């Protein structure tokens, strides 16, 4: 409770407004992802860019660099989903295959090394919350890449990471962001169901 109160008393009005705006665009992005709409990427970019700024202000350097990665992947995903539209051949929703599993494992290992390096550089791996944050980041790294490939399983990584992020950000003293991840979890569950339905209803699969 003390951390929550401090967030509202020590955070400027402008930062609170930016955080609220970031949450709005984040929720909008996840909702569009549930609907399998390419618009999830531009709205998601607004969310992540605002969080890059906020996290820098809060001096959460590891989280800031991670969100910078999301910006890059957001641009890539936007391009990857849109590039075939002129050919009327939209990137289909599919399931992971053996190659995807291998790439996901490789990306997870890269994410693990990357995050640990960030913590080492900023000398902030001094609390158990850092270990939890590292695990969440690995989940989100893989989930983001799988989403750019329109793989159904991306939602499972988002759900797991979102669930862990709720108490983690609350503990860090950012209740608005914690509430965002709670709503992300709910939407992601529906997104997983919606993508599965779309996959099984696709006669070309």
Domain count along the chain: 1
pLDDT, one tens digit per residue, over 103-151 is 999 999 999 998 888 878 877 777 788 888 889 989 999 999 999 999 9
pLDDT band at 167 (very low <50, low <70, confident <90, very high): very high
Nearest to 79 by CA among 49, 42, 52: 42
Report the sign of the C-alpha dihedral through residues 157, 23, 191, 145, in that order. Answer: negative
Hey, is 40 helix, strand or coil?
helix
d(CA 129, CA 133): 6
- Domain containing 11 equals 3-201
pLDDT band for position 1 (50/70/90)?
A: very low
Record the tokens describing residue 66, joined without a space: 């991670």
Rounded to two decimals, the pTM is 0.83
> How far apart are alpha carbons 142 and 164 in whole angstroms?
15
pLDDT tens-place string over residues 5-60: 455 555 577 888 898 999 999 999 999 999 989 999 999 999 999 999 988 887 77
């Amino acid at each position: 409770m003390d951390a929550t109160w401090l967030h509202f008393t020590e955070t400027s009005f402008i930062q609170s407004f930016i955080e609220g705006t970031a949450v709005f665009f984040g929720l909008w992005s996840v909702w569009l992802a549930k609907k399998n709409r390419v618009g999830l990427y531009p709205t998601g970019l607004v969310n992540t860019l605002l969080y890059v700024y906020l996290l820098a202000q809060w001096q959460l350097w590891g989280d800031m660099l991670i969100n910078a990665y999301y910006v890059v992947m957001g641009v890539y995903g936007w391009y990857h989903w849109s590039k075939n539209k002129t050919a009327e051949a939209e990137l289909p929703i599919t399931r992971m295959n053996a190659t995807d599993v291998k790439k996901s494992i490789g990306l997870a290992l890269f994410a693990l090394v990357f995050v640990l390096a960030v913590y080492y550089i900023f000398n902030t791996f001094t609390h158990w919350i850092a270990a939890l944050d590292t695990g969440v980041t690995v989940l989100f790294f893989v989930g983001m890449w799988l989403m750019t490939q329109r793989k159904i399983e991306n939602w499972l990584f988002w759900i797991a990471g979102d669930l862990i992020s709720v108490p983690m950000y609350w503990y860090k003293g950012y209740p608005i962001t914690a509430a965002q991840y709670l709503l992300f979890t709910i939407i992601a569950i529906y997104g997983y169901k919606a993508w599965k339905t779309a996959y099984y209803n696709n006669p070309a699969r």
